[in-house]
């Protein structure tokens, strides 16, 4: 079966190499359309009432784009067939993103030269397109191993601690392992994971799966091969690991400080439970929409911190969304070099090319502009406050899935807007980043300089 899937993905890779942006957008749009059609079938609904096109389209988009925003209760509204279809769409979306992102990385590495090609070698030990079958197989195996490990722990916990029958425990374990590794955030309980807020077996297992999927395939494989030799890590891995640790630690401290005495969130928990819940809440904006605390009851300062973490997202070539921690790292080094008055941007013992700097800036500006535009439109379309719709817009764009509780109450036009934002947030930065790199041109002349006032 793995070889068959590999063949299909390799054939798809050939189309990707010819028309990258068109292939990515068309492929994901086709899967979303097929998923929406499947969810509109009577067998997908838990009741006899027909599923509306907007609900089916929104749910399919959220699943394929591995977001997790929902307009209906997943467990109550969908039948077992519908839940399995959602899990399949999540798996297709996650594997598709990881495979496409890795292939685009190789394309870019061939286009911009030796330095990037060496980075690509860190993930597959080859920078040529002849290694595509091996890349696809590695992505599949890595995903299946991580999901199987998470499913095994979750299944055992559901059976032993919550008296679930073996069949039901396996079903719950597999569904939530797929949802966690692919950073989707779909859960089969009305309160998501709030009932497990102090259960370290559930929360830490899901958090570990989210982090593993969000690191990115290149970084994960380099860590597996050389985790004991950090000095030999590529710059991509160093920035991803360091930024991830800093953001997780900072997020945990922020949520602990802001919510410690909040009677609706951390207040009633014992100290170890507060630490676990704060850490879990800091992991999820990477971008998985699970929540063990009631997001709607959190302080507005926590919402703002979550907005920032969601917008940043996780690692490149993984299942996480956002502008990525590598982009944030590059922007930090660019700012540091400018503050010090250095003519070049250096990361470690390497110089960051000017073209890569521009790509990071353009990607961040366009992403910010998209979120701002969507927030404005949501303010026009709905009666909700700015902090609520901003949270919703960032969550959709960064494919997180966290919500302040207003998603289901939005009008159909707002649902369609969020669905478009999820789709743009998933495939947009991916195709835009590769397109910017692939469009790099060498100019054989220089124009005279001019001076502009900054600030």
Strands 350-351 and 346-347: antiparallel
Q: What pLDDT does residue 202 have? A: 97
* 42: DSSP letter: G
Torsion on CA atoms 249, 254, 255, 257, rounded to nearest 10: 120
Q: Residue 105 has what pLDDT? A: 57
Closest to 106 (Cα-Cα) out of 438, 352, 426, 428:
438
Q: DSSP labels for 297-357? A: GS-HHHHHHHHHHHHH-S-TTSS--SS-HHHHHHHHHHHHHHHTT-SS-EETTEEPPHHHH
pLDDT of residue 115: 41
For residue 433, the model assigns a pLDDT of 55
Q: What pLDDT does 114 receive? A: 39
Q: How does DSSP classify residue 407?
A: G
pLDDT of residue 271: 94
- How many residues appear in the chain? 455
Taking residue 304's Cβ as centre, other Cβ atoms within 10 Å add up to 15
Largest CA distance in the chain: 75
Residue 324: which of 364, 383, 281, 267 has the closest Cα?
364
Provide the pLDDT for residue 441.
58
**CA–CA dist 412, 384 (Å, integer):** 15
Nearest to 316 by CA among 13, 101, 104: 101
Q: Judge residue 228's burial from the number of C-beta atoms within 10 Å of its C-beta, 0-12 exposed, 13-18 middle, 19 or more buried.
A: exposed
Q: Quick one: pLDDT at residue 5?
A: 45
Tell me which residue of 41, 42, 35, 36 sits closest to 54, measured CA to CA.
Answer: 36
Number of H helices, E strands in the chain: 17, 2
CA angle 312, 66, 311 (to 5 degrees): 15
Number of neighbouring beta carbons within 10 Å of residue 227: 11
Which tokens go with 430? 């991916």
Residue-wise pLDDT for 269-287, tens only, equals 999 999 999 999 999 998 8
Q: Please report the pLDDT score of residue 121 as a whole number.
A: 42
Apex CA 88: angle with CA 84 and CA 92, to 5°? Answer: 170
Measured between alpha carbons, how far is 232 from 237 in angstroms, rounded to an integer? 10
**Per-residue model confidence (pLDDT) at position 98:** 59
Tell me how crowded residue 372 is: count the other CB atoms within 10 A of its CB: 12
DSSP 448: P
Q: Is 395 exposed, middle or buried (0-12, 13-18, 19+ CB in 10 A)?
A: buried
Q: Within the chain, which residues score under 50 in pLDDT?
A: 1-2, 5-13, 15-17, 111-129
Q: DSSP class of residue 288?
A: -
**Residues 158-196: tens digit of each pLDDT:** 999 999 999 999 999 999 999 999 999 999 999 999 999
pLDDT at residue 380, rounded to an integer:
95
Structure tokens that stand for 208 in this block: 């570990």
3-class secondary-structure state, position 293: coil
**Beta strands per DSSP E along 149-294:** none
Compute the chain's Rg from CA coordinates: 22
Domains of the chain by residue range:
2-438
pLDDT of res. 126: 37
Question: Could you tell me which of 133, 118, 322 has the C-alpha nearest to residue 237?
Answer: 118
């Amino acid at each position: 079966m793995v070889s068959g899937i590999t063949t299909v993905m390799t054939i798809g890779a050939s189309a990707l190499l010819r028309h990258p942006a068109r292939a990515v957008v068309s492929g994901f749009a086709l899967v979303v359309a097929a998923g929406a059609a499947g969810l509109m079938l009577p067998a997908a609904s838990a009741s006899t009432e027909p599923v509306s096109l907007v609900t089916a389209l929104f749910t399919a988009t959220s699943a394929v784009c591995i977001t997790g925003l929902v307009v209906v209760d997943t467990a109550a509204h969908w039948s077992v067939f519908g839940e399995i279809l959602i899990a399949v769409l999540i798996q297709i979306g996650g594997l598709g993103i990881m495979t496409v992102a890795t292939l685009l990385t190789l394309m870019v590495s061939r286009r911009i030269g030796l330095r990037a090609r060496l980075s690509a070698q860190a993930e597959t030990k080859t920078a040529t397109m002849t290694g595509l079958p091996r890349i696809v197989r590695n992505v599949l195996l890595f995903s299946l191993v991580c999901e199987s490990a998470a499913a095994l722990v979750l299944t055992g916990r559901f059976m032993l601690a919550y008296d679930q029958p073996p069949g039901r425990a396996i079903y719950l374990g597999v569904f939530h392992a797929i949802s966690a590794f692919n950073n989707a955030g779909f859960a089969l309980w009305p309160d998501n994971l709030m009932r497990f807020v102090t259960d370290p077996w559930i929360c830490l297992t899901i958090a570990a799966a989210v982090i593993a999927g969000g690191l990115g395939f290149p970084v994960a494989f380099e860590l597996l091969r050389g985790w004991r030799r950090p000095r030999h890590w590529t710059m991509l891995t160093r920035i991803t690991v360091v930024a991830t640790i800093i953001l997780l630690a900072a997020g945990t401290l922020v949520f602990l400080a802001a919510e410690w005495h909040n009677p609706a969130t951390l207040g009633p928990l014992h100290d170890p439970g507060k630490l676990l819940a704060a850490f879990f809440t800091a992991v999820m904006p990477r971008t998985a929409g699970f929540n063990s605390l009631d997001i709607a009851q959190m302080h507005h300062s926590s919402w703002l911190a979550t907005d920032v973490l969601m917008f940043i997202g996780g690692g490149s070539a993984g299942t996480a969304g956002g502008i990525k921690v590598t982009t944030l790292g590059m922007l930090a080094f660019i700012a540091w070099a400018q503050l010090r008055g250095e003519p070049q941007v250096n990361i470690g013992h390497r110089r960051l090319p000017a073209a890569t700097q521009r790509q990071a800036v353009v990607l961040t500006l366009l992403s910010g502009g998209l979120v701002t535009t969507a927030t404005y439109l949501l303010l026009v379309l709905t009666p909700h406050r700015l902090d609520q719709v901003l949270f919703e817009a960032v969550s959709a764009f960064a494919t997180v899935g966290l919500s302040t509780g207003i998603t289901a109450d939005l009008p159909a036009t707002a649902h369609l807007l969020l669905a478009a934002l999820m789709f743009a947030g998933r495939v947009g930065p991916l195709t835009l980043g590769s397109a910017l790199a692939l469009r790099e041109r060498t100019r054989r002349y220089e124009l005279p300089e001019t001076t502009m006032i900054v600030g």
